[in-house]
Structure 1
Amino acid sequence: MFNAENKALVLAAYCSGLAAMAHLGCIIFGGDWYRFFGAGEQMATLAEQGHWYPSAVTSVIVVVLSIWTLYGLSAAKVIRQLPLIRLALIVISSIYLIRGVGFIWLMPMFPGNSLTFWLVSSGICLTIGLLYAVGTLQMWPRLNV
């Protein structure tokens, strides 16, 4: 394996990378994948119709999750340190944690998503957010500003 200084951040980065790949799979494989992952019938139907919207939104998510993967690996000292590492880790941890606990307020904005989607995805986000937060706290003194 590789030399990492923080297992929590490596696991968080791994999870972010898996999430990015799952979203990329939705773009590549279309409506059935959007349905399987609970994105809602409207997104699935638009994807099947070849509409640009599902791919555009999902592409942004893929890019963001990929960047978060790199920041997790950077903070764990697997790759070179990226700029604004402390700020990035605070933002990444916060977004995951807020998404994990704030789904109740998000649900009305996305009525096409199933309750199963909200519970599973929120649990995943909460777990990843905790991994980023714990790893960040552990590595904080060794991260350059």
Structure 2
Amino acid sequence: MTSHGKNWLVAAAVMSLIASLLHVASIFGGGDWYRFFGAGEQMARLDEAGSWKPAIITAVIAIILAGWALFALSGAGIVRRVPLLRTGLVAIAAVLLARTALLAFPATWGPDASFAFMAVTSAITGIMGLVFAVGIAKSWRYMRRSSV
């Protein structure tokens, strides 16, 4: 594999890990962190009322993002090959790019979502989706042949 494909997938992994860690930090940061990162007033109030719901939802998202990082690192050949590597990476890129497209459909936004929140998060998921997609494209043949 060219180093370029590897570099793109490593970048995708780093972005996914940062996003995962920010979600974990939000669990410990509480209501103010949920508000700051745009999770909505309802999530912040539930957290402040002692509900486990925001922490569980946020932890699931953090685990998914960490899993995405694992797929990216596997695609880069840094960790052992995971099952359904190419399918998983394509699905991850598709989910990120589909989330980005939600910006164009305000009816799909949650009740607490502002345009600013949707624009910022759509930009982030769009960049992540594109980095995954470029990494996949540049590494596609290597991932088929490799048994890393």
TM-score normalised per structure 1: 0.92
Q: How many matched pairs?
A: 143
Contact 2:6 2:135 in 1 (8 A): yes
Partner of residue 49, structure 1: 49
Deviation at 1:103, TM superposition (A): 3.0
| C-alpha contact 2:92 2:129 (8 A) present in aligned 1 | yes
The equivalent of 2:84 in structure 1 is 84
Other-structure match for 1:142: 142
Moved more, 87-96 or 49-58: 49-58
Q: CA deviation at 1:52?
A: 1.5
Q: In structure 1, what residue type is equivalent to 2:105?
A: W
CA drift at 1:90 = 0.6
Deviations 1:64-121 (A, max 9, x none): 0010000001101111111110100010000001101223336544121222111111
Query: Which residue in the other structure is 2:24 paired with?
Result: 24
Aligned CA RMSD, in angstroms, stands at 1.8
* Partner in structure 1 of residue 123 of structure 2: 123
What does 1:7-18 align with in structure 2 at a 5 Å threshold? 7-18=7-18
TM-score, scaled to structure 2:
0.90
Structure 2 unpaired stretches of 5+: none
Q: Is the 8 A contact 1:107 1:118 kept in 2?
A: no
State, as a whole percentage, how many aligned pairs show the same letter. 40
In structure 2, what residue type is equivalent to 1:97? L
